[in-house]
């Protein structure tokens, strides 16, 4: 496949914080870690090649987090891309800690967030983090205290813009009382639209909405006939149809598809040039999420132990559903 090029005209741009103009297809770097988002990528040179190709193709927004690897992902970005081009917006996150047993635990204590931001500054080799996002609210820390720490970091010049992730509408509104929020990163894709209210609030306030799991994450992207058929009508893949649908869903939508594969990367960037017809959009808008996606949506606001309990409880139901699915 030829190398597609993303320009300001391809899918338009979004102004982050009223200052940083970002092309409306980003890249999520999380997949460039070892299995389970732990440790270095198995193909380190390949991962560096992917990151350099991302920028070569005109993508100027890259999402990462200190928890990816942990730390490995930020190190890799610096190794591949430093010194950074002037227009590149690096978005990292703090406040979610990867424990040795593999679980993800929120830590929104102000002292942790401040130390984590300093460490990300060091790894990425920047004077200030272009966009620092609270990875996940910590149920054990008042949300205002976590957001207050990000506000302090901005006042101290260590963070240029502040974003949120995994928040509901009430939390977005609460944070906006404390500091200027420029973006929200929540799960959103064809199968999972439970953050529609947050998306519409972002649209109203011109905040960037970063749908994570834009391809439904971790390999679920396959096997949706409506996407396959819509894609085929444009000589495109189901993944490309999914991204084109997302981009058309709102002018503040900034998808950050993740991939460790150069061919998928090219495919995803090419999707930004794909325009769906009104009828195709209506068909995908009307798509009804599967039961498993609905169960997945329930897990979002729960703690790690709550999610484990839900998975355990849902096991028999999932297995029964898998047996019955041929009636779908
Ligand atoms: N804030 C949060 O809590 C949070 C949580 C999860 C993710 N994120 C961010 O969101 C980004 C995106 O999420 P994600 O990477 O988990 O999910 P995703 O982008 O929905 O899907 C990635 C998966 O799809 C595959 N894929 C990518 N392009 C494809 C294509 N064109 N055709 C077929 N398969 C394709 C990838 O495999 P290959 O590598 O083989 O291409 C990978 O398995 C992450 O990288 C991360 O930056 C944030």
**The pLDDT value given to residue 321:** 47
Could you tell me the residue range of the domain that residue 306 belongs to? Answer: 290-328
Query: Is 146 in the same domain as 206?
Result: yes
Q: Using the mean position of ligand 1's atoms as its centre, give its distance from the Cα of residue 219 in Å.
A: 8
Same domain, 105 and 204: yes
| Beta strand residue intervals within the chain, DSSP E | 13-16, 20-23, 27-28, 61-63, 89-94, 96-98, 104-106, 129-134, 159-165, 181-187, 208-212
pLDDT value, residue 323 = 41
In the block, tokens 């950074």 appear at 84
For residues 81 and 130, is the Cβ–Cβ distance under 8 A? Answer: no
Residue 283 located in a structural domain: no
Same domain, 23 and 166: yes
| Global confidence as pTM | 0.91
Residues above pLDDT 70, as percent of the chain: 85
Is the residue at 179 inside a domain? Answer: yes
Q: Kindly state whether residues 210 and 307 are assigned to the same domain.
A: no
Domain count, the chain: 2
The predicted structure's pLDDT at residue 310: 53
Query: CA angle, 124 as apex, 120 and 126 as ends, to 5°?
Result: 95
Phi then psi for 72, rounded to 5 degrees?
A: -60, -40
In a domain, 33, yes or no: yes
Closest CA to 30 of 270, 288, 257, 280: 257
Confirm if 74 and 64 have CB atoms less than 8 A apart.
yes
166 CB less than 6 Å from ligand 1?
A: yes
Asked whether residue 314 falls in the same domain as residue 234, the answer is no
Residue 2: predicted pLDDT: 75
Using the mean position of ligand 1's atoms as its centre, give its distance from the Cα of residue 256 in Å.
Answer: 8
Residues 241 and 307 in one domain: no
Tell me, yes or no, whether 2 lies in a domain.
no
Pocket test for ligand 1, best of 25, 28, 222, 239 (most atoms within 8 A of CB): 28
The tens place of each residue's pLDDT in the chain, 328 residues long, gives 679 999 999 999 999 999 999 999 999 999 999 999 999 999 999 999 999 999 999 999 999 999 999 999 999 999 999 999 999 999 999 999 999 888 999 999 999 999 999 999 999 999 999 999 999 999 999 999 999 999 999 999 999 999 999 999 999 999 999 999 999 999 999 989 999 999 999 999 999 999 999 997 545 556 688 899 999 999 999 999 999 999 999 999 999 999 999 999 999 999 999 999 999 999 999 987 665 556 555 554 454 445 545 555 555 555 454 444 333 2
Same domain, 264 and 296: no
Instruction: Look at residue 217 and tell me if it is in a domain.
Output: yes
Whether residue 141 is contained in a domain is answered as: yes
Same domain, 17 and 121: yes
| Residue 140 shares a structural domain with residue 107 | yes
Looking at the fold, whether 256 and 298 belong to one and the same domain comes out as: no
Tell me whether residue 132 is in a domain.
Answer: yes
Q: For ligand 1, say whether the CB of 239 is within 6 Å of any of its atoms.
A: yes
Among this protein's residues, is 132 annotated catalytic?
A: no
Q: For residue 37, what is the domain's CATH number?
A: 3.20.20.100
Q: At what angle do helices 169-176 and 143-155 cross, to 10 degrees?
A: 40
Regarding whether 118 and 72 lie in a shared domain, the answer is yes
- Indicate the top mutation candidate among 25, 27, 29, 31 to test ligand 1's pocket, ranked by most ligand atoms within 8 A of CB: 31
Q: In terms of domains, do 189 and 240 share one?
A: yes
């Amino acid at each position: 496949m030829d190398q597609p090029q993303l320009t300001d005209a391809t899918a338009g741009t979004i102004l982050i914080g009223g200052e940083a103009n970002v092309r409306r297809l980003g890249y999520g770097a999380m997949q460039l870690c070892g299995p389970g988002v732990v440790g270095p990528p198995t193909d380190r040179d390949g991962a560096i090649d992917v990151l350099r190709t991302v920028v070569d193709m005109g993508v100027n927004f890259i999402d990462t987090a200190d928890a990816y690897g942990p730390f490995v992902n930020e190190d890799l970005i610096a190794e591949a891309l430093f010194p950074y081009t002037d227009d590149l917006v690096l978005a990292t996150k703090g406040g979610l800690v990867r424990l040795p047993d593999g679980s993800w635990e929120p830590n929104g204590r102000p002292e942790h967030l401040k130390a984590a931001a300093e460490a990300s500054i060091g790894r990425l080799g920047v004077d200030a983090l272009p966009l620092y996002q609270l990875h996940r609210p910590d149920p054990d820390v008042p949300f205002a205290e976590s957001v207050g720490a990000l506000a302090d970091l901005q006042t101290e010049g260590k963070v240029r813009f502040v974003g949120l992730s995994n928040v509901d509408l009430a939390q977005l509104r609460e944070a906006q009382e404390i500091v200027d929020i420029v973006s929200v990163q929540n799960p959103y894709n064809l199968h999972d639209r439970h953050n529609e209210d947050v998306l519409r609030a972002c649209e109203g306030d011109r905040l960037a909405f970063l749908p994570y799991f834009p391809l439904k994450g971790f390999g679920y992207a396959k096997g949706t006939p409506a996407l396959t058929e819509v894609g085929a009508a444009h000589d495109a893949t189901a993944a490309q149809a999914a991204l084109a649908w997302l981009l058309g869903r709102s002018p503040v939508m900034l998808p950050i598809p993740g991939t460790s594969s150069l061919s998928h990367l090219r495919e995803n960037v090419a999707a930004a040039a794909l325009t769906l017809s009104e009828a195709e959009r209506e068909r995908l808008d009307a798509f009804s999420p599967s039961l498993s996606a609905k169960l997945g949506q329930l897990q979002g606001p729960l703690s790690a132990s709550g999610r484990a309990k839900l998975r355990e409880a849902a096991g028999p139901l999932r297995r029964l559903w898998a047996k019955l699915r041929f009636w779908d």
